[in-house]
Chain A
Amino acid sequence: MDGHGHRLSPTAPRRRRVPVRALAWAGAVAVPLAFLGLFFAWPVATLVARGFVADGALDLSGFAEVFSTPRTWRIIGLTLWQATLGTALSVLLGIPGAYVLYRCRFPGQRFWRAFVTVPFVLPTVVVGVAFRSLLVEGGPLGFLGLDESFAAIVLALVFFNYSVVVRTVGGLWERLDPRAEEAARALGATPWRAFRTVTLPALGPAVASAASLVFLFCATAFGVVLVLGGIRYGTIETEIWIQTTQFLDLRTAAVLSVVQLVVVAGALTVANRARTRRERALNLSSAERSARPLRPFGADALPLAVTVVVVGGLIALPIGNLLVRSLRTPAGWSLDNYRNLGTTGGRNALSVTVWEAAGNSLRTAAVATVLAIVVGGLVALVVSRRPRARAGRRAITLLDSVFMLPLGVSAVTVGFGFLITLDRPLGIDWDLRTSGLLVPIAQAVVAVPLVVRTVLPVLRAIDPRLREAAATLGASPGRVLATVDGPLAVRSLGLAVGFAFAVSLGEFGATSFLARPDTATLPVVIFRLIGRPGVENYGMALAASVVLAALTATVMLLAERLRGDRPGGAGEF
């Protein structure tokens, strides 16, 4: 691992330290790779391989067969189209949101930052109900005629992913030194021109980061497409799901998994290109210093209007709908649905109470978060280095992309892959499949890419000259990490912790294959409740969703606090 290339001139005496440092960097690469290899690559590859092996021989005829049906092409086209539109709209709407919620200062800001993250963790089946009961014929927004439409899918994708853009871009934006833009303005540039030529390019890497994440989420969206689009709009993901769980046609599923990987790899390559072209060190400053009061009637009117429409119309409306419905009971308005959360549901729909499930969720998410932060933090650290050697840079780009893959592979492929590989992991006689530990591990695998994407833009934006200067002044590599990278990274870690925790709280796909009834998580319980008849169960499902939403918002608020924004702490930069 050529991790020392950023040093100005490694002199002869220093070179002797290289083995130790190389070892440290090798460890930083090996731990995440081993984790991902064992809990992602191996299960997925084993399952996909089963689809390509018939009677002990390699059989690739599945490709010809799958690609000769017009339905396959329609599904691929639809997947790309909805993902592209969903990503474009999320980014377009998310950038003004990032500005208003992170760059500006106004009362209640932290609440709204947490609030926009809520959709991210809501179980699809609940979002389906929240959206569809608004849009359905006769519903409050039924006149729009959006039920079961392509537009409804795209709007739902924005609903889910808006916060990804807002947080990723906002996290960098709030630390961006305002002086460059101020200078441009002082030199006579219009606000738009200053934004376009100074700020936007600086935000480029974060925007590309967010866009690639959102694209992966959109391309692999499962439930939301089925629920909101109706059955006409199949995607690669839904097709893999059906082929695996319903038909056990591993051959077709394997072909589609490969297609999905190609799509995802293509998206990552494009995003990487976009990122590296723009990548450079930025002047970071403290959020305190960079933020400015919101000017609702002045220059900020447009971004504010966009944000109000998105947050109010697209996010608050469905969530409000959920809240209102959770308070409605056959006997009129009441808190009965919430009181029932201490029970196991109408006629024992559940094997744990909803509160116990909430406890399970929090514990599982805490473990998953620790795993994700350790693994993702190491990846971000390694990937943030810019070795001199071309091969080193290539290797790092590759590593970066590899850790994004868990977002681009179907949860059903991962879940079924676990089943056929983890009965004796690495030959150890410990059936992980039925162990409770596999749930947080599966959630961590999904959360790692988010941690990487959140921490990386900040680490990359640190001027390497700072590290060089510290090293020249005699700081050991460890000390450089602790004093230069550390303080900045720790703050973005707060955000990453929040994201990882939220994604673990909301993870349903892989969890549903692994959850044990007595340790069911909140989304699993919600799914069960809403799958049962009975107004009581339905009401509890909605109330439990509100609880999940409130938990998420609380976690996000705490994560904001955790960032411990010491005023002036980063001001020297």
Chain B
Amino acid sequence: MHTARRRTVTTRVTALTGVLGLLTLTACSGGSEAGGDPTPSGTGAEAGGTVTLVTHDSFAVSDEVLAAFEAESGLTVEQIAPGDGGALVNQLVLTKDSPLGDLVFGIDNTFATRAIDEGVLAPASPEGVSASAAQYGVGDGELTAIDLGDVCINVDHTWFAAEGIEEPVTLEDLTKPEYEDLLVVTNPATSSPGLAFLLATVGAFGEDGWEEYWAQLVDNGVKVADGWSDAYYVDFSGVEGGPRPLVLSYSTSPAFTVTEDGNESTTGALLDTCFRQVEYAGVLAGAKNPEGAQQLLDFLLTEEFQADIPGSMYMYPADADVALPEGWAEFAPLADEPIDVAPDDITAHRDEWITAWTATVIG
């Protein structure tokens, strides 16, 4: 693990700190540097060579990859991360008359058409869209698929081996008596994997069947945690020793539980239970630097960036030809046939489904 030293960013915060002579207070930071010289940095975002990327808080890219882009294009990339999932899209909708930046990355397929319908995005003509990425395209070029990943039920192999119980395989299995009180999922109203799993059940059982399925899950003792970390680190038995051996997580999560010798993972994903999340980027309508946004968008599609995605964000690159890190095929495979719901259907019914889910599961 290398120690990344970010380029020093001169912010108004440091400026003010310097001006106010608060160094006595910052001095107790225990070794952290004051960072940046205390001169105000001009007017920021509007400066010619700056492009602002609005993204979610899971966005990451290796320093050298980004630095290479900045050097090549002459642009400076500013990032702001005001939220994720629904919060990100809703913020864009609220600010569409005065957008927060130039390019957005991180709108996923559960919110994609809302963003398009609300007129948040401008059509773009990205260069270098691979065939595999093109198949996920939505709208008229407003959104370009950048990466993807599957949300699946994960299973604690060790627990099932010790108990001598056979592992479940399908969504239907989860309602069987032998798996009573073993599953923990997350709340679709507050967590994006939770929403993905709700959509998986809608896709699998149809609009008329999914509520009945959830009623059966409830009867079988499903636990609903508020967020992913709570479910994965407290309730799930496979990592920190919680009580439940089945948890809603990502298909890539088992790659984090590989044993010392690197031969096997103590957890696995049930690939018949997966919903595919696709993350998109798009140029914001009314962007101050649309050319820069376009350049940045093209950069997100380059092989350099696509190859950096698995290591930085733990998602699959949308370009299927890009080589994956070692071990991914074995421990973090994508589902062959993920459960699918059309983006338009999601936009039309998402709120109603969450409300119905709340009524069924919480009461």
Chain A positions near chain B (C-beta within 8 angstroms) = 125, 128-129, 132-133, 136-138, 223, 226-227, 230-232, 241-242, 244-249, 325, 330, 340, 342-344, 346-353, 355-356, 358-360, 362-364, 366-367, 369-370, 415-416, 419-420, 423-424, 430-431, 433-437, 439-440, 501, 512-519, 524, 527-528, 530-535, 538, 551, 554-555, 558
- Verify A420–B95 contact, CB threshold 8 A: yes
- Verify A231–B362 contact, CB threshold 8 A: yes
Residues of chain A within 8 A (CB-CB) of B351 are 246-247, 249
CA separation between A440 and B13, bound complex, in Å?
Answer: 8
Does residue B245 face the partner (Cβ distance < 8 Å to A)?
no
- Verify A434–B91 contact, CB threshold 8 A: no
CA separation between A534 and B233, bound complex, in Å?
Answer: 10
CA separation between A138 and B235, bound complex, in Å?
Answer: 10
CB-nearest residue of chain A to B2: A343
Given A353-B4, A439-B13, A531-B229, answer yes or no on A246-B28 (Cβ-Cβ < 8 Å).
Answer: no
Given A129-B233, A231-B224, A245-B90, answer yes or no on A138-B79 (Cβ-Cβ < 8 Å).
Answer: no
Residues of chain B within 8 A (CB-CB) of A518 are 6, 9, 79
Does residue B93 face the partner (Cβ distance < 8 Å to A)?
yes
* Interface contacts beyond A434-B101, A517-B59: sample of 6 additional A-B pairs, CB < 8 Å, sorted by A: A343-B4, A355-B31, A359-B34, A434-B78, A435-B44, A535-B256
CB-nearest residue of chain A to B195: A246
Among B98, B260, B312, which residue has its beta carbon within 8 angstroms of that of A424? B98
Q: Interface range on chain B: under 10, 10 to 19, 20 to 34, or 35 or more?
A: 35 or more
Does residue B165 face the partner (Cβ distance < 8 Å to A)?
no
Residues B1-60 near A (CB distance < 8 A): 1-4, 6, 9, 11-14, 16-17, 20, 22, 25-26, 28-35, 43-46, 52, 55, 57-60
Given A132-B230, A230-B226, A518-B6, answer yes or no on A436-B1 (Cβ-Cβ < 8 Å).
Answer: no
CA separation between A353 and B32, bound complex, in Å?
Answer: 10
Most chain B Cβ neighbours within 10 Å, of A137, A366, A437 = A366
Residues of chain A within 8 A (CB-CB) of B80 are 434, 516-517
Residues B338-363 near A (CB distance < 8 A): 351, 354, 361-363
- Verify A515–B81 contact, CB threshold 8 A: yes
- Verify A136–B256 contact, CB threshold 8 A: no
- Verify B81–A516 contact, CB threshold 8 A: yes
CA separation between A353 and B242, bound complex, in Å?
Answer: 29
- Verify B28–A362 contact, CB threshold 8 A: yes
Does residue B329 face the partner (Cβ distance < 8 Å to A)?
no
Task: Say how far B201's CB is from chain A's closest CB, in angstroms.
Answer: 17
Most chain A Cβ neighbours within 10 Å, of B34, B60, B79 = B60
- Verify A366–B26 contact, CB threshold 8 A: yes
Among A244, A367, A431, which residue has its beta carbon within 8 angstroms of that of B16? A367
Residues of chain B within 8 A (CB-CB) of A370 are 20, 22
CB-nearest residue of chain B to A516: B80
Per CB-CB distance, the 7 closest pairs between chain A and chain B, nearest first, are A359-B32, A436-B11, A245-B87, A226-B226, A423-B98, A534-B256, A248-B90
Does residue B228 face the partner (Cβ distance < 8 Å to A)?
yes
CB-nearest residue of chain B to A47: B94
Task: Say how far B360's CB is from chain A's closest CB, in angstroms.
Answer: 12
- Verify B58–A528 contact, CB threshold 8 A: yes
Task: Say how far B144's CB is from chain A's closest CB, in angstroms.
Answer: 21
Residues of chain B within 8 A (CB-CB) of A367 are 13, 16-17, 20, 22
- Verify B91–A416 contact, CB threshold 8 A: yes
Residues of chain A within 8 A (CB-CB) of B1 are 340, 343-344, 346
CA separation between A555 and B25, bound complex, in Å?
Answer: 9
A–B complex contacts, Cβ < 8 Å, 24 sampled: A226-B227, A247-B86, A247-B354, A248-B90, A249-B351, A343-B4, A348-B312, A351-B60, A352-B6, A358-B32, A359-B29, A359-B32, A359-B33, A363-B14, A431-B44, A436-B12, A440-B13, A516-B80, A517-B81, A518-B9, A519-B13, A528-B58, A531-B227, A533-B314
Task: Say how far A355's CB is from chain B's closest CB, in angstroms.
Answer: 5
- Verify A516–B22 contact, CB threshold 8 A: no
Does residue B240 face the partner (Cβ distance < 8 Å to A)?
yes
- Verify B78–A232 contact, CB threshold 8 A: no
CA separation between A231 and B227, bound complex, in Å?
Answer: 10
CA separation between A551 and B126, bound complex, in Å?
Answer: 47
CB-nearest residue of chain B to A352: B6
CB-nearest residue of chain B to A419: B95
Task: Say how far B239's CB is from chain A's closest CB, in angstroms.
Answer: 7
Residues of chain B within 8 A (CB-CB) of A138 are 241-243
Residues of chain A within 8 A (CB-CB) of B93 are 248
Does residue B82 face the partner (Cβ distance < 8 Å to A)?
yes
CB-nearest residue of chain A to B186: A231
CA separation between A138 and B256, bound complex, in Å?
Answer: 24
Given A363-B26, A419-B94, A436-B11, answer yes or no on A231-B187 (Cβ-Cβ < 8 Å).
Answer: yes
Does residue B232 face the partner (Cβ distance < 8 Å to A)?
yes
CA separation between A347 and B255, bound complex, in Å?
Answer: 12
Residues of chain B within 8 A (CB-CB) of A514 are 82
Task: Say how far A476's CB is from chain B's closest CB, in angstroms.
Answer: 28
- Verify A128–B230 contact, CB threshold 8 A: yes
CB-nearest residue of chain B to A247: B351
Residues B202-253 near A (CB distance < 8 A): 223-230, 232-235, 239-243, 249-250, 252-253
CA separation between A367 and B22, bound complex, in Å?
Answer: 8
CA separation between A129 and B95, bound complex, in Å?
Answer: 34
Task: Say how far B13's CB is from chain A's closest CB, in angstroms.
Answer: 5
Does residue B83 face the partner (Cβ distance < 8 Å to A)?
yes
CA separation between A386 and B64, bound complex, in Å?
Answer: 62
CB-nearest residue of chain B to A340: B1
Task: Say how far B195's CB is from chain A's closest CB, in angstroms.
Answer: 8
Residues of chain A within 8 A (CB-CB) of B45 are 431, 434
CB-nearest residue of chain A to B351: A247
Task: Say how far B142's CB is from chain A's closest CB, in angstroms.
Answer: 18
Residues of chain A within 8 A (CB-CB) of B59 are 517
CA separation between A13 and B134, bound complex, in Å?
Answer: 84
- Verify A437–B250 contact, CB threshold 8 A: no
Does residue B148 face the partner (Cβ distance < 8 Å to A)?
no
Residues of chain A within 8 A (CB-CB) of B22 are 363, 366-367, 370
- Verify B101–A530 contact, CB threshold 8 A: no
Does residue B100 face the partner (Cβ distance < 8 Å to A)?
yes
- Verify A437–B28 contact, CB threshold 8 A: no
- Verify A246–B60 contact, CB threshold 8 A: no
Task: Say how far B237's CB is from chain A's closest CB, in angstroms.
Answer: 9
Does residue B62 face the partner (Cβ distance < 8 Å to A)?
yes
CA separation between A431 and B44, bound complex, in Å?
Answer: 9
Given A434-B52, A528-B58, A533-B253, answer yes or no on A362-B229 (Cβ-Cβ < 8 Å).
Answer: no
Task: Say how far B305's CB is from chain A's closest CB, in angstroms.
Answer: 14
CA separation between A434 and B100, bound complex, in Å?
Answer: 7
Given A136-B234, A350-B60, answer yes or no on A363-B13 (Cβ-Cβ < 8 Å).
Answer: yes
Does residue B189 face the partner (Cβ distance < 8 Å to A)?
yes
CB-nearest residue of chain A to B288: A431
Residues of chain B within 8 A (CB-CB) of A369 are 25
Residues of chain A within 8 A (CB-CB) of B95 are 419-420, 423, 433
Residues of chain A within 8 A (CB-CB) of B190 are 226, 241-242, 246
Among B44, B98, B311, which residue has its beta carbon within 8 angstroms of that of A347? B311
CA separation between A435 and B100, bound complex, in Å?
Answer: 11
CA separation between A213 and B189, bound complex, in Å?
Answer: 29
Residues of chain A within 8 A (CB-CB) of B31 are 355
Most chain A Cβ neighbours within 10 Å, of B9, B187, B223, B230 = B230
CA separation between A41 and B148, bound complex, in Å?
Answer: 41
- Verify A362–B226 contact, CB threshold 8 A: no
CA separation between A244 and B190, bound complex, in Å?
Answer: 11
Given A247-B351, A355-B32, A531-B58, answer yes or no on A437-B243 (Cβ-Cβ < 8 Å).
Answer: no
Among B12, B29, B235, which residue has its beta carbon within 8 angstroms of that of A437? B12
Task: Say how far A10's CB is from chain B's closest CB, in angstroms.
Answer: 38
